[in-house]
């Protein structure tokens, strides 16, 4: 059978663009459908604009700390609108780069939604297009919990569209998105309150990392209601009234009601889910698992001609993972290479202030897999040299989880300045199977915080 395209990609985010360009470089005839801006969540509503806001939020802290080094710094003023305009300008520049990458790869771009009609046919606008293979890379979107008055909140996407800086904000959710925006807004001078259902932030991360960052955020002035829930949100003349129930009955705590009045915005950062609505999956044999597209090790769905990558699947939802999945898939299908995506030792970071970063497994997971008697944990908690002259009590935490029998380092975790930059290098070592002896034999860079990873005994 003759098809219009060898590969039709639904979704023009980082993963979809990476797959389409790589497939086209191997000679495949490729098309991409994207109704919104190219680059997906990362470029438009996630990694890029968020990190720019993180940078903006750290200048007051740097100015305060510079006094300890002899600088006399006058208190400046922050203009929210100027920052947002600059962020949007950079996003638009990146959109243009993605467009040029698509054009140079000779990939046909449909600026419309695409819907699956069957295993080889998609509907794009008023047109029906066929393809030998179809790749779903539609990403995900933020979800809001079912709370009375939730319509008075914005999601994480809406943070980039605020025309005025809120002076008081409640952030619902203690995941990495909630923590990052709490740090951003706190650094910019907004009064921040977090409401989390768990005892601590960052469920699923290493316990020591969670402890350290939870304490650090509170030291920075962020108020955290833990083991708590928002039970109601109301709009009033004063702003938005948020009703909170503190205490978890399951832990034997006595519930206590609190009310907070904030500006006309309350951020909901309680998670994301795959964007599968109106995609037409019911017209195919594609199966889902807990709301995400189920795929095998080759990113193939239950329908042999349909594949999926990125945040719409049940794998690791990180932009670099989606990009690598797309390239691996294209190389395998069209490049004559038999490649598999490896999900081992994928590093990740939380861009709070201070930062947190991790690679490998947690201490808890290591004990579950190998037994407590077979795990040796190395920890170091210290004040870095940078904070001595400003005389600030800000700690850095570094941790290695080691399998005693093989001496292999199973996990590395850090809270502190430049954690993401440091853990990126550590990730290479762990990916190559480094042992604690390899770390010990490595000469450190002195004086630096990073050297602590090779001096822990």
Q: Which residues have a catalytic role annotated?
A: 446
Contact yes or no for 182/192 (Cβ under 8 A)? yes
- What is the C-alpha separation between 348 and 362, in angstroms, rounded? 13
From 153, 167, 229, select the one nearest 194 (Cα to Cα): 229
DSSP 3-state percent helix, strand, coil across the chain (nearest 5): 35, 30, 35
Residue spans of beta strands (DSSP E) within 343-436: 348-350, 356-360, 375-383, 395-403, 409-415
- What is the C-alpha separation between 354 and 394, in angstroms, rounded? 9
Please list, in sequence order, all residues whose beta carbon lies within 8 angstroms of the beta carbon of residue 235, skipping any fewer than 6 positions away.
149, 152, 241, 264
Contact yes or no for 406/435 (Cβ under 8 A)? yes
- Give, for 423, the enclosing helix (H) or strand (E): helix 419-431
The crossing angle, in degrees rounded to 10, of helices 319-334 and 14-25 is 20
| DSSP strand pairing (154-155 vs 108-110) | unpaired
- What is the C-alpha separation between 325 and 236, in angstroms, rounded? 47
State the residue for tokens 């794009």: 124
- What does the longest C-alpha to C-alpha distance in the chain come to? 75
Q: What is the DSSP letter of 300?
A: B
């Amino acid at each position: 059978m003759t098809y219009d395209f060898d590969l039709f990609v639904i979704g023009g985010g980082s993963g979809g663009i990476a797959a389409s360009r790589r497939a086209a470089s191997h000679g495949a005839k490729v098309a991409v459908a994207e109704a919104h801006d190219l680059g997906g969540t990362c470029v438009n509503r996630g990694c890029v604009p968020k990190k720019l806001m993180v940078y903006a939020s750290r200048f007051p802290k740097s100015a305060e700390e510079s006094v300890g080094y002899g600088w006399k710094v006058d208190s400046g003023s922050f203009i929210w609108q100027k920052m947002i305009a600059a962020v949007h300008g950079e996003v638009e520049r990146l959109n243009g780069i993605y467009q040029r990458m698509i054009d140079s790869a000779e990939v046909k771009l449909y600026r419309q939604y695409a819907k699956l009609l069957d295993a080889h046919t998609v509907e794009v606008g008023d047109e029906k297009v066929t393809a030998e293979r179809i790749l779903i890379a539609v990403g995900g979107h933020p979800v809001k919990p079912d709370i009375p008055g939730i319509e008075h909140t914005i999601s994480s996407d809406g943070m980039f569209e605020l025309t005025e800086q809120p002076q008081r904000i409640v952030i619902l959710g203690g995941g990495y998105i909630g923590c990052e925006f709490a740090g951003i807004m706190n650094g910019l001078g907004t009064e921040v309150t977090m409401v989390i259902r768990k005892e601590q932030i960052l469920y699923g991360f290493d316990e020591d990392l969670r402890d350290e960052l939870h304490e650090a955020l509170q030291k920075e002035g962020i108020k955290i209601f833990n083991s708590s829930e928002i039970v109601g949100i109301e709009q009033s003349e004063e702003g938005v009234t948020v009703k909170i129930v503190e205490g978890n009955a399951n832990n034997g705590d006595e519930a206590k009601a609190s009310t907070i009045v904030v500006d006309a915005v309350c951020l909901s950062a309680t998670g994301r889910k795959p964007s599968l609505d109106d995609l037409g999956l019911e017209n195919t044999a594609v199966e889902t698992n807990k709301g995400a597209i189920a795929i095998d090790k080759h990113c193939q769905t239950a329908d042999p001609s349909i594949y999926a990558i990125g945040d719409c699947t049940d794998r690791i939802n990180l932009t670099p993972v989606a990009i690598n999945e797309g390239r691996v898939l294209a190389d395998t299908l069209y490049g004559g290479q038999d490649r598999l995506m490896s999900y081992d030792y994928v590093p990740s970071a939380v861009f709070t202030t201070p930062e947190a970063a991790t690679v490998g497994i947690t201490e808890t997971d290591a004990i579950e897999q190998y037994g407590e008697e077979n795990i040796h944990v190395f920890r170091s908690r210290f004040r870095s040299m940078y904070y001595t002259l400003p005389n600030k009590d800000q700690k850095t935490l570094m941790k290695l989880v080691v399998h005693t029998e093989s001496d292999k380092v199973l996990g590395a975790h850090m809270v502190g300045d430049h954690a993401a930059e440091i853990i990126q290098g550590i990730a290479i070592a762990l990916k190559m199977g480094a042992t604690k002896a390899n770390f010990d034999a490595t000469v450190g860079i002195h004086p630096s915080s990073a050297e602590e990873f090779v001096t822990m005994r």
